[in-house]
């Protein structure tokens, strides 16, 4: 598959010289055995009541001088629309299992102030609640994904919330919703039954949670044939295959439409390393963790296939992304970190993994949207900046609801200190309008890689491409220089007899469009 032709050359890119010994990587796009759609919901997001995610992030209040719609910043609304956000998960995370939804409805002056025990021990006034969130999702034209309180709540509280947002009329909760100014139900489809019950959601074991889940799921109904509920069990962390085995074997498929998976790219939970001033050692270790996503999905899918050969239950990766030490001088409970080209590599490689596993992966949620962890946007007063991760999502949105084109290739190695990782990741799809998109990520910190893509049989006449890269891995957008990293047109490729040839620079993402 790989032609072992060694090329010794000096590659000059963006003023940086790279001495590299390369083998050409041949990528073949092949027809699928069965048509398979990359669900748009793989490109979902997550906004938790955590640090400056909601307050002073998404939400500034309707009296703010910052332009807003019902208190939500207009610049963030537009940014999320521009990446075709398909769904948004709220209110947590760990916060979900301490959140009592009735605290966030009704007149704001009557809402209780609560303590966020998980994230910084700060108080909040519940001014952003169910109506704010669901109305925001309507403004964004995206699906809401509500995470319900199982850890400190009750079945009654959970089903009351469901009735409040989904029942049209004639019930106590529908009446209460109308009294609070919303006549029509929102018809929320996606519901998470708790969050991380193996940890902050109750420190349960898998067998206990499976019984709890069945109890909650039994009492959930949509009251509508047009919008049946999609109930998501809180699944494992990383490689906890026992947890998945228990849920798949103990919970009837009639009670479960999805199982969640959480996996963060963390070097060491006790010493995560800096977000910007990191070394190549830090970077290689982070990418090692990020690329484990492929192994986790593969092995969890094998377990799911054993109990669900019909592929009726979706794998929902509703928390993923890079996690580092917080920025100096910020509240450690707020999880505020900068976002560099390293994060673009995590995003590009991870989304390629999700696309290629789209038979089983039906939804994913990047953690998190604004000012927390691997955010797509950062705010400071009236200013907002978009991160390298944001631009990867913008480039990759062409894969949403497109038909997967399987790819076949052997990746060259990215080697560091005697260890190796696959340098190149690829995914491809055909959109409804017939256009083919190919996304490539090269995570190598130093070396460009020569790639040849076989386009024969696709009958493609026109090619264009965008690239996201920079001079240094540690580069990032700042409030002083918000456009340091932006996608640029990429023209350094040749198409000879349906063979697309290019050199993909170190730590860069390229997306081709062919028609």
When pLDDT is cut at 50, 70 and 90, the band that residue 2 belongs to is very low
How much is the mean pLDDT over the chain?
93
Instruction: Name which of 338-347, 362-371, 492-501 the model is least confident about.
Output: 492-501
Handedness of CA 109, 110, 111, 114 (dihedral sign): positive
Give the pLDDT score at 12: 32
Number of neighbours of residue 148 by Cβ within 10 angstroms? 27
The residue ranking higher by pLDDT, 498 or 400, is 400
Element (H or E) spanning 509, and its range? strand 508-514
Closest CA to 484 of 388, 394, 389: 388
Q: Nearest 5°: phi and psi at 391?
A: -70, -30
What percent of the chain has pLDDT above 70? 95
To which residue do tokens 């049989």 refer?
457
Element (H or E) spanning 511, and its range? strand 508-514
User: How many angstroms separate the CA atoms of 265 and 289, rounded?
Assistant: 5
Question: pLDDT at residue 16 above 70?
Answer: no
For the chain, give me the number of helices (H) and strands (E)?
9, 28
For the segment 82-124, what is each residue's pLDDT rounded down to a tens digit? 999 999 999 999 999 999 999 999 999 999 999 998 999 999 9
Which part of the chain has CATH 3.20.20.80? 40-401
When pLDDT is cut at 50, 70 and 90, the band that residue 30 belongs to is confident
User: How many angstroms separate the CA atoms of 83 and 397, rounded?
Assistant: 6
Give the pLDDT score at 227: 55
Question: pLDDT at residue 492 above 80?
Answer: yes
Give the pLDDT score at 461: 80
To which residue do tokens 């807003």 refer?
68
What number is the average pLDDT over the span 393-420? 96
User: What is 40-401's CATH topology?
Assistant: TIM Barrel (3.20.20)
For the segment 46-61, what is each residue's pLDDT rounded down to a tens digit? 999 999 999 999 999 9
Q: Which CATH number fits domain 3-30+405-514: 3.30.465.10, 3.40.190.10, 2.60.40.1180, 3.30.2010.30?
A: 2.60.40.1180
Question: What is the b/e burial string over 15-28, where b = at least 16 CB atoms within 10 angstroms of the residue's CB?
Answer: eeeeebebbbbbbe
Closest CA to 263 of 410, 390, 361: 361
When pLDDT is cut at 50, 70 and 90, the band that residue 22 belongs to is low
To which residue do tokens 């509703």 refer?
318
Give the pLDDT score at 13: 34
Which part of the chain has CATH 2.60.40.1180? 3-30+405-514
Bond from prior residue into 93 cis (ω within 30 degrees of 0): yes
Question: What would the DSSP string read from start to end of 274-308?
Answer: -SSS--HHHHHHHHHHHHHHHHHHHHHHHHHHHH-
Burial of 370 (0-12, 13-18, 19+ CB in 10 A): buried
What number is the average pLDDT over the span 467-486? 98
Give the pLDDT score at 366: 98
Which are the catalytic amino acids? 196, 319
For 88, the 3-state DSSP assignment is strand
Burial of 34 (0-12, 13-18, 19+ CB in 10 A): exposed
For the segment 195-254, what is each residue's pLDDT rounded down to a tens digit? 999 999 999 999 999 999 999 999 998 766 555 899 999 999 999 999 999 999 999 999
What number is the average pLDDT over the span 175-184? 97
For the segment 267-276, what is each residue's pLDDT rounded down to a tens digit? 999 999 999 9
To which residue do tokens 């982070």 refer?
286
Give the pLDDT score at 34: 82
End-to-end CA distance of the chain: 26
User: How many angstroms separate the CA atoms of 262 and 297, rounded?
Assistant: 11
Helices (H), 219-254: 241-250
Question: pLDDT at residue 20 above 50?
Answer: no
What number is the average pLDDT over the span 26-50? 92
For the segment 114-150, what is each residue's pLDDT rounded down to a tens digit? 999 899 999 999 999 999 999 999 999 999 999 999 9
Instruction: Name which of 9-23, 138-152, 183-197, 334-348 the model is least confident about.
Output: 9-23
Q: Nearest 5°: phi and psi at 28?
A: -115, 125
User: How many angstroms separate the CA atoms of 83 and 347, rounded?
Assistant: 14
Instruction: Name which of 1-10, 181-190, 374-383 the model is least confident about.
Output: 1-10
CA angle 480, 482, 485 (to 5 degrees): 130
């Amino acid at each position: 598959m790989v032609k072992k032709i060694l090329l010794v050359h000096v590659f000059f890119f963006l003023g940086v010289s790279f001495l590299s010994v390369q083998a050409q990587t041949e990528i073949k796009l092949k027809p699928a055995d069965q048509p398979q759609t990359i669900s748009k919901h793989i490109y979902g997001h997550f906004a938790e009541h955590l640090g400056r995610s909601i307050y002073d992030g998404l939400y500034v209040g309707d009296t703010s001088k910052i332009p807003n719609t019902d208190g939500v910043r207009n610049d963030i609304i537009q940014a999320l629309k521009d990446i075709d956000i398909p769904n948004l998960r709220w209110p947590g995370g760990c916060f979900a299992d301490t959140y009592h939804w009735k605290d966030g409805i009704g007149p704001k002056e009557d809402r209780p102030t609560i303590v966020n025990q998980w994230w910084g021990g700060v108080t909040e006034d519940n001014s952003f609640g169910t109506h704010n969130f669901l109305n925001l999702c309507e403004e964004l034209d995206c699906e809401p994904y509500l995470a319900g309180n199982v850890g400190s709540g009750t079945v009654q509280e959970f089903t009351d919330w469901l009735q409040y947002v989904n029942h049209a009329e004639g019930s106590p909760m529908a009446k209460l919703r109308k009294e609070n100014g919303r006549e029509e139900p929102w018809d929320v489809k996606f519901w998470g039954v708790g969050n991380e019950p193996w940890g902050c959601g109750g420190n349960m074991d898998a067998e206990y949670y499976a019984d709890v889940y069945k109890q909650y799921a039994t009492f959930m109904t949509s009251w509508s044939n047009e919008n049946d509920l999609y109930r998501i069990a809180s699944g494992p962390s990383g490689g906890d295959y026992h947890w998945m085995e228990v849920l798949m074997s103990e919970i009837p498929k009639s009670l479960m439409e999805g199982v969640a998976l959480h996996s963060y790219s963390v070097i060491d939970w006790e010493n995560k390393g800096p977000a910007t001033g990191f070394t190549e050692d830090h970077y290689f270790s982070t990418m090692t963790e990020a690329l484990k996503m492929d192994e986790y999905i593969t092995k969890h899918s094998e377990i799911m296939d054993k109990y669900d050969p019909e592929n009726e239950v979706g794998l929902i990766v509703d928390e993923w992304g890079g996690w580092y030490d917080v920025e100096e001088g910020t509240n450690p409970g707020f999880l505020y970190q900068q976002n560099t080209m390293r994060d673009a590599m995590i995003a590009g490689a991870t989304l390629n993994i999700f696309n290629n596993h789209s038979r089983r992966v039906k939804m994913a949620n990047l953690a998190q949207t604004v000012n927390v962890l691997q955010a797509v946007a950062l705010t400071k007063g009236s200013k907002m900046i978009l991160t390298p991760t944001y631009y990867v999502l913008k480039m990759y949105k062409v894969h949403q609801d497109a038909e997967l084109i399987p790819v076949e290739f052997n990746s060259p190695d990215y080697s560091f200190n005697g260890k190796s990782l696959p340098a190149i990741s690829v995914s491809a799809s055909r959109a409804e309008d017939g256009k083919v998109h190919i996304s490539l990520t090269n995570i190598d910190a130093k070396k460009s890689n020569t790639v040849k893509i076989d386009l024969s049989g696709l009958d493609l006449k026109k090619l264009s491409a965008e690239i996201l890269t920079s001079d240094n891995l540690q580069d990032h957008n700042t409030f002083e220089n918000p456009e340091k990293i932006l996608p640029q047109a990429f023209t350094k490729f040749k198409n000879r007899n349906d063979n697309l040839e290019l050199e993909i620079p170190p730590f860069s993402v390229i997306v081709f469009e062919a028609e």
